[in-house]
Structure formats: C-alpha cells, structure tokens
Amino acid sequence: MGKGNTALKKGIGKRIKSFIMAAAVAFSALGPVSSTAEARSVSGETIRFNDSRTITDYKYSDISYNYAKLLQYSLYLYDANMCGTNVGNRSLLSWRGNCHTYDKAKYTLKSGKTIDVDVTGGFHDAGDHVKFGITEAYSAMVLEMSYYTDKAAYEAAGQTGHMKTIADHYAEYLKKCMVLNDDGRIEAFVVQVGEGNDDHNTYWGAPEKQPQSSGRKIYFADAKGNYSTDIVALSAAALALHYLNYKDTSSLTAARKLFTFAKNNPKAVNTTAGSFYASSGWEDDYCLAAAILYQITGTESYNTEYNKYCNTTKGNNIYWALSWDNTAPVIAYFKNDAGKLKSSADVAGSHISNEGYVCLLDWGSARYNTALQYVGLLYDKVSKTSTYRNTEEAQMKFLLGNNSQKQCFVVGYNAYSPQYPHHEAASGYGFSELDQGTYPMKYSLIGALVGGPKSDGTYADTADDYIYNEVAIDYNATLVASAAAIYSGHIGESGQTVDSKYYKDNSDPEPEKLYDVRKMTYKGVTGWYYAPEGKVIPTFNGFASNKSGWWYLENGKVSFKVTDVIHGKVKGKTGWWYVKDSKVQFVDTVAKNSKGWWYIKKGMIDLTYTGLAKNENGWWRIVKGKVNFNCRGLVKHGDDWWYVRDGKVDFTFEGISSNSYGKWYCKGGKVQFGFSGKVKFNGRTYTIKDGKVV
C-alpha cells in the first residue's frame, strides 16, 4: 500500500494510548501543566472567573462567537460519518453516499434457527469506518441528552429536523443490532462491526468504496459470552432518551428489552473493541439506563437494579470526565444530584494550560474540554445558578480561536479553522497522499471538532496526526451538546444566527441533494454530475433530473452544450426528447437531429402528427412527425390553407397555387377566401371567386 501505510499504522495505537493515559491521569493525580496562569502573549488579558479559574482573552476583532452557527455546523459531522443503505438520501453532504451495505451476518438462535442479521446503518466511529458499539451508544446518548436539555436552542437555530434525522438514524441502528427470537426477546446484540486494526491497516479511502474484505466482521454479545454490559446498557439509555425526546414507543420497548438482556446475562465490559475502547466499567452505563427507565416508567425493578450498583466504584461515581468511559455525570442529572455534577465539572481541577485551557489529556483534548463544558452547564441547570456559564463559554471561545496561536479547532468555522482533519471520507485521497499530511482535502468536513491542542499549547494542522487532528462521533457529541447549552443563553442576541448556506428547518423543502443531478467537485472539476447517491457515476449517459429540470448527461456530467433530439427516458416516458443546451425543453416546436427535423410536442417527438408546426425559424410541413422538405403546395392548418415551398410556409408568396380541390389565390402565403376579382400571376390573368380560380 505504499509508505502511507506507516502513517496509518501510527493510528492503530490511538485509543490504546488514549486509554492508558486516561487511566494514568484519572488515578494518579498527575500534576498540573501549569497553574501559574501566566499569559504567553503580551496582548492577552487575564480574565478571572468566580470559580477561581482564569483564561487569557486575546480580543481578536476578526473572530466572532456565533453559537447558533456553531450548533448548526457541529451536527454535520454526523452527515459525514453516516453509514448504511440510505445515506444518499439522508446525509446533507452531497459527497456522501450509501456505504457498507454488506454489513450483514447470520446468527443461530438457541432454538437452532438461523436468522439474517442486517446491521447496515449507524455511524462510522472517527476518521475510519469501524462501528464500535460503545461510541455509537455514547454519542447517541449525548446527542439525545443535548436535545432533551436544550431543545429551545435547536428550535431557535432551526435544527430540530437535522437533529431528528441524526437521532432516528442512531435509534434505527441500535434496534437493528438487537437479535430477537420468535418470542420477541433479545438473544444477541451486535456490539461491533469491523475490526479496528484491520480497518486501520488495510484501507484508507471513501467508505462507499471500502471492500468487505478489509475487516467488516460482526461481533455479537450474547449469553455465550462477550457480555458487553456497558454497550448494551448504554444503548438502552440512548433509546430510552430517544423515547423521551420523540415519544417513539418502539424505542422505549427496545430500551426495556435491552436492559432486561443486560440484567439477565452475566455482567462484564466489552472486550472486542480491545485496546481501542477498553471500558473500565459497565456499572455507570447500567445505572444510567436503570435511572432513565425508572424515571419514564416508574417501574420499581429499575430502581432496585439502580440501587444494587450505584454505590460501586464504577456506578454513579465520577471517576473521569463525561466520556464513553464515564457516563455517571448524566446519571447525576437524572438524579438531580448537583453535588456530583459539580464534581464532574471540577474534574478539570488543575489540568489547566498556561493560557487557561482545560486540558485533561493531550490526546483529543478538545473532546474532554467540551464534555466538561456541557457538564458545567448541566450543573447550572440543576442548581439553577450561573456558576459555570462564563467559565465554560470562555473554554469554547478558546476552541474557536481565542488563543495565542489564533487557532480554531472546529473545521469550517472561521478563517483560522483546521484545513486537514484526519478523515478518510472527506480527504478524497489514498495512502500516499495521506503521508503528506497537508494534501488539499477534497471535501470540507464542516463542523468537525478536531483532537485539539496539547497542554503546552502545541498543535499541528496535519491529516496524518491523529492526536491533534482526528475527529470522532464522541468528540462532536459534546461539541454539539455544549454549543446548544451555550447558545440557549444567547438566543435572540445579535450575531447569533445560522448560516443560510446550511440546513435550517423549513428553509428548503427540496434540497438539491435529493436529486440525481447535483453540483459537485469530481476529479478537481466542479460541475453538475449524475450522482444519485452522492457519488458521481462517470459512466452514465442519458437523462436525469434535479430541482431545475431534466438534463442530458454524457460521461456523468452536464456539458450545457448539447442541443439535439435524443432517445431516452424522461419523466418515465421513453421516446425522442428535445434537448437544448443539455436541458430537456418541454415545449412544442420543430427541432433537428442527425436524422432530420421533427415535430416536438411537450418535449417529445410526436410521430402521429401530420400538418404544420412552427419553431423560431418559421412554420414547417410535418408528415408523421417529420419535416417534409420536398413538400410544395397548399397545406391546411386550422381553417386556413398555407403555401409551402421546400417544406416551409412562405409568408411572402403571392399568386396562384393548387391542391386537390383546385387552384387558389394566395397572399401573404395564405389562401384568400374573402377575395373575389382578377389577379395577374406569371404573365396570366386569373378570375377569382371566394379565393378560388374559376
């Protein structure tokens, strides 16, 4: 695969290291990077918050903090990472299409019956394409929480529809992962699709083109082993929240079944994700699902289960920032436990950089930073105070560019955003280019939160660095959540508006992307292409449509140069269609192709027509749909008869012409039925009565 492989192999260690470091920081109270809060830049001003934290404000005049736009943009990472058979229709990004449509397996039930399990759908984990159960469930849960706690922000920013599409896509996937027996009970649950090392080693490229051979194994949790209580329970929590948000009763039923499955099986953390996502406990996820289900249903058995495990080390205990490995802060929200939420917000502790940035871990620091932001704002909600609002907002401002490097960490947000996020689908290139790190990316990964800076402030915007510059569904989940929570405090303020170029509820009922012909950039050329599922099909020749009409495409592209009458299928009707500047013209006219000139009725040749018909050049004699250039004489049209020469009505003709009824006097090309008298023509004098030569 070339030397680019080396760059990818570095990526394999990503979450191994991530986990080890997380554990080290969490349990050994590593000292702060710096607690002196000395600003690195002389231009910055130190701001002190009432929780005694400080941050440096650089007051850049060209960086604005528009949280409506941030919320709007941040949802797009889910369009970029969407997987399955309906991505072409669902994703708002034109460069994404259906992928991994082969994510299917067989499972043999206890009864001996083998059934087909279809787990197409869900979201790719990060810059790669594996579907890890823990981050699927975690990001679904956080997004649902965000909508649950900050619905007003979504409504104000016109993002309810976009969020629902994403939430539905998650919920559908989690339900597909449930393997049900004939009694409707869960016998197995799919906890992973694809294998981390295989995926990272064997393929870098568009998800739409990834071959099944590059490691799309499907892993089940069942009574036989691989219990994955963490994933099963967290999936139950996400589905229960989906019910809370959208009153989708099938999601509540699924959540209850999943919880029962987790409860009845032996309890253990998932191991198939290996070092990529090695969860340190399942108790928090189990307690979270129990807490939410108890709140929804009031069923005492959920509370009993909650009480059984909540006081264990990994139960409702805050042992790390809100993350796929510690969901206890969300339990605290449902238990109205302000104290635990405060402990979680204060996990930041002394992990503060010189400039005041909360950096729990150098690897993907921004994900923990945004998670702590959200939890701080959850504390404010539960405690009905504004304890953390300014502090957390200042952290978000840092991520948007208010730092000594003037570096924004959200793709596309402003002129200081990352240009080279580590993301296969958006890159549009293969192994060798990846090694360059700053090879121009084909598509913009709008709204993606990259890993972020290290505690010493260093950061490199390069695609081959998965520490600083990878993106992930769990990273963006807390970006979305914090953006919504911050925006909810700024609704209606000036400068807090969404970008009209991107999704807004009811703004465009017919988005361009639903059509087969779309504006895209293909092989470096921007144009209108045949891309029914978001992917250009360069072999396509024929007719296809978009919002503006029907187009004739050659080699997958509209040239805007074709004027012809072409055979094909338009609006479901096969025939010969009149095309002008590559667009089908649904008009009545006379038009030509290599076989002649033809009568066109509503865009299509009408071979049944005989008579006269016009185009911009005049009126023409049509016989069975085709212009007859040999015709000379009188032709009836309506109540009139017209003089035709070489197939064309001659409006200048004055004189005598004939048909089978006799000879007639014409003027202006037309028989003059109102005329009686004498006329001279070709040296002869004719006597006319009512137009006819007598």
Reduced to 3 states, what is the DSSP secondary structure of residue 205?
coil
Q: CA 5, CA 430: separation in Å to the nearest integer?
A: 10
CA distance 316 to 339: 12
Of 150 and 424, nearer to Zn ion (C-beta) is 424
Give min distance, CB of 514 to Zn ion, in A.
Answer: 20
Strands 655-659 and 662-667: antiparallel
The closest of 184, 210, 191, 201 to 83, measured between CA atoms, is: 210
Output 192 or 488, the one with its CB closest to Zn ion. Answer: 192
Beta carbon of residue 99, minimum distance to Zn ion (angstroms, whole number): 3
Task: Please give the torsion angle defined by the CA atoms of residues 296, 299, 302 and 306, in that order, rounded to the nearest 10 degrees.
Answer: 80
- Rounded to a whole number of angstroms, the minimum distance from the CB of residue 467 to Zn ion is 24
Please name which of 483, 484, 473 lies closest in space to residue 141, comparing C-alpha atoms. Answer: 473
- Quote the least distance from Cβ 241 to Zn ion, whole Å: 24
State in angstroms the smallest separation of the CB of 429 from Zn ion. 18
In whole angstroms, the minimum distance from the beta carbon of 131 to Zn ion comes to 8
3-state secondary structure of 152: helix
Q: Which of 269, 201, 198, 275 is nearest to 16 (CA)?
A: 275
Instruction: Give me the residue whose beta carbon is nearest to Zn ion.
Output: 83
Q: Which of residues 79-138 bind Zn ion (CB under 5 A)?
A: 83, 99-100
Instruction: Fill in the amino acid letter for 232.
Output: V
Comparing C-alpha atoms, which of 374, 323, 321 is closest to residue 351?
321
With respect to Zn ion, which residue has the nearer C-beta, 90 or 100?
100
DSSP H/E element including 155:
helix 151-156
Q: Which stretch binds Zn ion (CB under 5 A): 76-84, 160-168, 173-181, 646-654?
A: 76-84
Nearer to Zn ion, 169 or 454 (CB): 169
Rounded distance between C-alpha atoms, residue 505 and residue 498, angstroms: 11
Phi and psi, residue 78, nearest 5°: -75, -25
| Nearer to Zn ion among residue 101 and residue 253 (C-beta) | 101
Element (H, E) at 619: strand 618-623
The answer to whether 153 touches 173, Cβ cutoff 8 Å, is: no
Minimal distance, residue 67 CB to Zn ion, in Å: 30
Site string for Zn ion, 198-227 (x = CB under 5 A): ---------x--------------------
Residue 122 CB, nearest distance to Zn ion (Å)? 8
CB of 123 to Zn ion, least distance (A): 8
Contact 123, 131 (CB under 8 A): yes
Beta carbon nearer to Zn ion, 210 or 387: 210
Q: Which is nearer to Zn ion, 100 or 397 (CB)?
A: 100
**Closest distance to Zn ion from the beta carbon of 124 (Å):** 6
669 near 655, Cβ under 8 Å?
no
Please report how close the Cβ of residue 173 comes to Zn ion at its closest, in angstroms.
11
Spatial separation of the C-alpha atoms in residues 72 and 229, rounded to whole Å: 34
Taking the least distance from each CB to Zn ion, the nearer of 104 and 389 is: 104
Rounded Cα distance, 76 and 502, in Å? 9
Nearer Cβ to Zn ion (130/178): 130
Q: How far is the CB of 83 from Zn ion (least distance, A)?
A: 3
Stretch that binds Zn ion, among 78-86, 233-241, 332-340, 564-572 (CB under 5 A): 78-86
Q: How far is the CB of 253 from Zn ion (least distance, A)?
A: 27
C-beta of 120 vs 226, nearer to Zn ion? 120
User: Per CB under 5 A, which region of 77-85, 212-220, 475-483, 608-616 contacts Zn ion?
Assistant: 77-85
Least distance to Zn ion, CB of residue 79, Å: 13
Residue 145's SS3 state is helix
Closest by Cα among 189, 188, 73 to 131: 189
Size of the site for Zn ion (CB under 5 A): 4
The answer to whether 656 and 624 have CB atoms below 8 angstroms apart is: no
Q: How far apart are CA 68 and CA 153, in angstroms?
A: 8
Question: Could you report how far apart the first and last alpha carbons of the chain are, in Å?
Answer: 93
**Three-point CA angle 292, 473, 229, nearest 5°:** 45
Give yes or no for residue 423 binding Zn ion (CB under 5 A). Answer: no
Alpha helices per DSSP H over 435-472: 466-469
Q: Which position has the token pair 């192709």?
A: 593
CB closer to Zn ion out of 82 and 145: 82
Residues forming beta bridges with residue 223, ordered by sequence position: none
Cβ-based nearer residue to Zn ion, 205 or 207: 207
**Minimal CA–CA distance to 485: which of 630, 596, 375, 333?**
375
Residue number with CB closer to Zn ion (216 or 367)? 216
* Cβ atoms of residues 232 and 262 within 8 Å: yes
- Contact between 402 and 396 (Cβ < 8 Å): no
Cβ-based nearer residue to Zn ion, 207 or 447: 207
Positions touching Zn ion (CB under 5 A) are 83, 99-100, 207
